[in-house]
Amino acid sequence: MQSSISSIDLAIIVIYIVATTAFGAWFVKGSHDMKGFTLAGKLIPGWAIGLSLMATYLSSISFLANPGKSYASDWRPFVFSLTLPIAIWIAAKWFIPLYRNHVQTTAYEYLESRFGLWARLYMGVAYVLLQVGRFAVVLYLTALALAALLGMNITTLILALGALTILYTLLGGFAAVIWTDVVQSIVLLLGGLLCLFLLINNMDGGFEVLTAEASRAHKFDLGTFDFDLVVQGFWVIFIFGIVENLKNFSVDQNYVQRFLSAPSEHEAKKALWLGGLLYIPISALFFMIGTALFVYYLNVQPENFPAKADQVFPYFIVHELPTGLVGIVIAGVMAAGMSTLDSSLNSSATVVTIDFYKRVFHPQADDAKQLRMIRFTTAIIGVVATLASLAMIDVKTALDVWWQISAIFGGGMLGLFLSALLLPKLSSKLAMIATLIGVVFVAWASLAKFGVEMDLTFPLHTMMIGVVGTFLILLSSFVLQFLSHEKD
């Protein structure tokens, strides 16, 4: 797809990038100590944290992939968003009070208090590896989309976006993450609304024709309601959504750090409800864009009907939007990507500094030494993740490989946390055994599903691997605790 970006649109994009980087770096004045760098001094209002939560959820991949999914198929991925109120209610009732009352900076301090240092370090290692991979994949796929939109070299885009994100996160700390997310959430929302408005406006009959044509093609379907865990129907996505969202709110430092940065527990809960509930209509907006694109190219411009779903939204942006709006929408793509990248970078650097450097290697480190360490770690993790992103350029299955690694390293995190929370008498040794059982299962199921030849393969849908792994750890913990008490 050749780009036809005008000089005006390029100017808008450049101005946005420079302004966002400068805005994030401006918060250097509030990041002169560890509390300021990692928790923004606990001075961020709930509404700003809520917008930041929403922006983190809506990555550039969602910005582009969700329209592609509804364009090619239907709205079944929207079921994931519908599980958010359940996960939010649980997190607001139990997780937020737990973390506000029992930890200072990282989620994994609580695991050490329950099971010992091994649990804290296991969770820390798993989390950092996940975030390095997440940063690399999101940066690569964001640059891939922008390369098509702008007609630029993908290597240049990866290096530029990686460097800019590292710069303002390094200087401004967590306050920069939150407040740039606020700006980016507004930009990406504005870009989405403009696209949907223009799509509907360019159709004869407008919204009425859109809904009629989409309904006729079953575009609003949410998948089969049969309780079949082998196919990607309603219940597979629903169960996966609950477990995945609970994992986000319980053991993902991205979210826990936001809960802790609020000035009070009430503000933290308000932020979670605001950000989580906002994501539901905003994700619907991008699914609706995909559906509108289907109707638009089917009826208005059938001769330009794009064949590949993942190209349809970028094609529309470059070829159909008027000058000026192209720049705003592409800025929205960048905003969605950078809001994910800065969160991964700051939270993983926080875990390395607090859970490893301060806890294990240098317990007597004062605030100044910790601050130097977290800035150094931010830069190193950012560089490593950017290099990993460059390595993915020639790998056709980068996303599939990432999901395998993600499942293996992340498979035990939620299960261990729930075991700690729900089984107060579970010992450290039994928790370790249960976690190993779950991790081994997830590794086997992932490898079996993704092409490694085995005599026995996981029989359910791939999305159920993490779900089963989580419940296997919890079940193993319960059985091991029961058997241990029986022996006593």
Indicate whether 234 belongs to any domain: yes
Helices and strands in the chain: count of H runs, count of E runs: 21, 0
Summarised one tens digit per residue, pLDDT across range 171-195 is 767 777 788 788 878 888 888 898 8
Residue 129 near residue 410 (C-beta atoms within 8 A): no
448 class by beta-carbon count within 10 Å (0-12 exposed, 13-18 middle, 19+ buried): middle
Q: How far apart are CA 67 and CA 288, in angstroms?
A: 7
Task: Annotate 179-191 with b (16+ C-beta within 10 A) or e (fewer).
Answer: bbbbbbbebbbbb
Q: Are residues 218 and 281 in the same domain?
A: yes
Q: Are residues 381 and 406 in the same domain?
A: no
Lowest-confidence pick of 15-19, 25-29, 376-380? 25-29
What is the residue range of 42's domain?
7-394
- Give me the mean pLDDT over the 431-460 stretch: 80
**Domains in the chain: how many in total?**
2
What sections of 217-356 are H helices per DSSP? 234-251, 253-261, 265-295, 309-320, 325-351
- What the block records as the tokens of 342 is 């800065």
Q: How crowded is the C-beta side of 459, counted as CA atoms within 13 Å? A: 2
CATH code for position 281: 1.20.1730.10
Indicate whether 90 belongs to any domain: yes
Residue 396, helix vs strand vs coil: coil
In 3D, which of 433, 401, 440, 398 has the Cα closest to residue 419?
A: 433
The overall average pLDDT reported for the chain is: 83
Lowest-confidence pick of 147-156, 227-236, 346-355, 357-366? 147-156
Torsion of CA 260, 381, 358, 171, to 10 degrees: -60
Summarised one tens digit per residue, pLDDT across range 63-101 is 777 888 888 888 988 999 999 999 999 999 999 999 998
Instruction: Kindly state the DSSP code that residue 33 receives in the 8-state scheme.
Output: S
Q: Are residues 387 and 401 in the same domain?
A: no
Summarised one tens digit per residue, pLDDT across range 115-140 is 999 999 999 998 998 888 888 888 88
pLDDT at residue number 297: 82
pLDDT at residue number 1: 46
Indicate whether 162 belongs to any domain: yes
pLDDT at residue number 2: 47
- Mark which of 394, 426, 445 sits at the end of a domain: 394
Q: Are residues 218 and 202 in the same domain?
A: yes
Residue 279 neighbours by CB under 8 Å, 6+ apart: 53, 54, 57, 58, 81, 84
Indicate whether 1 belongs to any domain: no
Summarised one tens digit per residue, pLDDT across range 234-257 is 999 999 889 888 988 888 888 888
Q: Are residues 178 and 62 in the same domain?
A: yes
Residue 333 neighbours by CB under 8 Å, 6+ apart: 60, 63, 64, 142, 145, 146, 149, 188, 191
125 class by beta-carbon count within 10 Å (0-12 exposed, 13-18 middle, 19+ buried): middle
Look at residue 480 and tell me whether its pLDDT is greater than 90: yes
Residue 66 near residue 77 (C-beta atoms within 8 A): yes
- Where residue 453 falls among pLDDT bands split at 50, 70, 90? low
Residue 466, helix vs strand vs coil: helix
Summarised one tens digit per residue, pLDDT across range 195-209 is 899 889 888 888 888
Q: Are residues 310 and 432 in the same domain?
A: no
Indicate whether 270 belongs to any domain: yes
Q: Are residues 141 and 284 in the same domain?
A: yes
Torsion of CA 482, 484, 485, 488, to 10 degrees: 160
Q: How far apart are CA 376 and CA 328, in angstroms?
A: 34
- Mark which of 394, 412, 429 sits at the end of a domain: 394
- What the block records as the tokens of 374 is 């977290």
Q: Quickly list DSSP for 276-302.
A: HHHHHHHHHHHHHHHHHHHHIIIII-G
- What the block records as the tokens of 114 is 């329950």
Residue 234, Cβ neighbours under 10 Å: how many? 18
Q: Are residues 381 and 440 in the same domain?
A: no
Q: Are residues 288 and 239 in the same domain?
A: yes
Which carries the bigger pLDDT value, residue 341 or residue 132?
132
Indicate whether 2 belongs to any domain: no
- Mark which of 375, 394, 413 sits at the end of a domain: 394
Tally of residues, the chain: 488
In 3D, which of 320, 399, 340, 313 has the Cα closest to residue 70?
A: 313
In 3D, which of 139, 146, 141 has the Cα closest to residue 10?
A: 146
Q: Are residues 55 and 12 in the same domain?
A: yes
Residue 254 near residue 157 (C-beta atoms within 8 A): no
pLDDT at residue number 342: 79
Q: Are residues 327 and 355 in the same domain?
A: yes
Indicate whether 464 belongs to any domain: yes
Q: How far apart are CA 70 and CA 78, in angstroms?
A: 9
- Where residue 308 falls among pLDDT bands split at 50, 70, 90? low
Indicate whether 479 belongs to any domain: yes
Instruction: Kindly state the DSSP code that residue 123 receives in the 8-state scheme.
Output: H
Residue 275 near residue 50 (C-beta atoms within 8 A): yes
Q: How far apart are CA 180 and CA 27, in angstroms?
A: 10
* Segment of 33-47, 373-387, 449-463 carrying the highest mean pLDDT: 373-387
Q: Are residues 420 and 409 in the same domain?
A: yes
Q: What is the CA radius of gyration of the chain?
A: 23
- Where residue 3 falls among pLDDT bands split at 50, 70, 90? low
Residue 452 neighbours by CB under 8 Å, 6+ apart: none
Q: How far apart are CA 217 and CA 65, in angstroms?
A: 20
